[in-house]
Amino acid sequence: MSSPTALSVGPDVTLTCEDLERAARTSGVRVEPTSEARDALESARTALDDLREDGAPIYGVTTGFGPLHEHDAETTDAIAQGKGLIAHLATGSGDRLSAPVVRAMMLSRLQTLAQGHSAIRPEAFTAVTNLLRHNLIPAVPEIGSLGASGDLTPLAHVARVCTGTGTVVSEDDTLRDADDALTDAGLSPVSLDARDALALVNGTALMTGTASLAVAQGDRLLTRAEALTGWAYRLLGCSLEPLDSRLHEARGHDGQSKSAGAIREEATRHGPAEREARPLQEVYSLRCAPQILGAARDQLQYVRRQVETELNGVTDNPVFDPDAPAALHGGNFQGQQIAFAADALNEALTQIGVLAERQLDVLLSPDQNDGAPPLLAWEPGPTSGLAGAQLTATALVAELRQNAQMAGTSSIPTNGDNQDVVSMGALAARTAHEQTDHLSSILAILGIALAQLTHLRNEGQADGPAPPLPDWMPTIDPVVEDRSLHSEIDALATRWRRSGDSQAP
């Protein structure tokens, strides 16, 4: 188990996607509410009690849930009502969510609850922090949330584990009864009343947590794509004119200028490397890389702003104002912002993958790589070089494109037509997160190709200079005889996707 790491949550804390990612990839993470958060939790619960004493109608407390809100629940056993809520919601389908995604969901929900507008009891809040501290990961099916009334189904599986029901996933990937796991950890189940139960499930935590992971990984992969492009410029000896800052300042897009600068920095790592043999105007995958990657950079900035706003916001219904006091009934749990943002991220990741695959083709084609062997084969004919790796890159681009459909506009009415417009934000976020896996593999293949061309030149198998590999590129043995590159691609993809993450389980 990794050494525990602490994450502070509260209204006086602003979490970034990277903050959430580091904690989500840490076994035994400790979540510590600030003193402001503790005060806010108490104040919101007091406001709820005062409103009940005044006879105010409160959704999910004095009423039933969803389309049953017109039915009175004032005389209902609150604990039984809460138990029934999480029991009927704990459905779902498909494979289990990974431990980092489940942690990200729980951490996202805790930051929302810590704002002090959810009226959850402090002991129910602590029950969730205890699961994280003892690395008790609820078994959560990946499919089930519509991102409408929040991520009801996946969050219900977390709430059930707090009560000693449901299952958790052990570190060896086996399932255990929640009650046994709590006992072994020295924890007791918590009873959730109707408000506690609703506060735990009624928010955008899965989509927000998953989107946060995707943003953090996507940002690193964009930076890697820029560096790989610069390496290709240097190795091929491309003209630096397409990277001239004056060109990009004239257009005015900030992301484009930053991408051009990043590419230029890598391209000139060992000084200018331009070669007269290169064409005046390179193919678009090289010449227009600053425009394409710059557009992705601008897109990521928008996505980050949306996701981090949601991460630090309040996504309940009702939202409690402790000062009035008041229970404000509305729709903050509707996840349209995250759905749109995740779709936008998906679009950017896909186009980065398209660009990288085209750059790979340049490197493997003798008519564009200055006469290096086709497919960068050490001995064309007897060996096939990176032929198989290129097929994989092409297949990965097909996967990216197939998965790049918008989810945020695919509403399907449900819940007795109470949820007549839903965001599908969980689907959008989960898809964007999965796209980072595909993109990182394409970038890994591109990196291996650049290394292979360098090796070929070093050994006199191809013409041209062979500048040293950049320090961020791990050692890759030359492909002299055909070998399976599967494990090398996977290792490099994982490294670049999680670069700087020393706490990954």
Integer angstrom CA distances of residue 174 from 130, 168, 170: 20, 8, 5
Burial 132-157 (b: 16+ CB within 10 A, else e): bbbbbbbbbbbebbbbbbbbbbbbbb
Examine the residue annotation and report whether 59 is marked as an active-site residue of this protein: yes
pLDDT the model gives residue 473: 96
Provide the β-strand partners of residue 138.
168
Cβ neighbour number for residue 286 with a 10 Å cutoff = 24
Q: Tell how far CA 272 is from the center of its chain.
A: 37
Q: Write the pLDDT tens digit of every residue in 264-301.
A: 999 999 888 888 888 888 899 999 999 999 999 999 99
Q: For residue 237, which amino acid is it?
A: G
Provide the β-strand partners of residue 271.
269
Per-residue tokens: 398:
């097909």
Domains in the chain (CATH in brackets) are 6-203 (1.10.275.10), 210-313+329-410+422-497 (1.20.200.10)
pLDDT confidence bin for 70, thresholds 50/70/90: low
Is the pLDDT at 4 greater than 70? The verdict is: no
Q: Write the pLDDT tens digit of every residue in 322-365.
A: 999 999 999 999 999 999 999 999 999 999 999 999 999 999 99
pLDDT the model gives residue 61: 86
Q: Annotated catalytic residue: which of 59, 233, 284, 302?
A: 59
pLDDT the model gives residue 3: 42
Which residue, among 220, 213, 218, has the nearest Cα to 106 in the 3D structure? 213
Match 């557009």 to its residue by tokens: 295
pLDDT the model gives residue 110: 98
Q: For residue 461, which amino acid is it?
A: Q
pLDDT confidence bin for 483, thresholds 50/70/90: very high
Contact indicator for 413, 420 with CB cutoff of 8 Å:
yes
Which residue, among 142, 141, 143, 125, has the nearest Cα to 133 in the 3D structure? 125
Q: Phi/psi at 175 (nearest 5 deg)?
A: -95, 145
Per-residue tokens: 485:
């590159």
In this structure, the dihedral spanned by the alpha carbons of residues 121, 127, 132 and 137, taken in order and rounded to 10 degrees, is -120
Per-residue tokens: 150:
């929040």
Indicate the average pLDDT of the chain: 93
Match 């070929």 to its residue by tokens: 456
pLDDT the model gives residue 505: 32
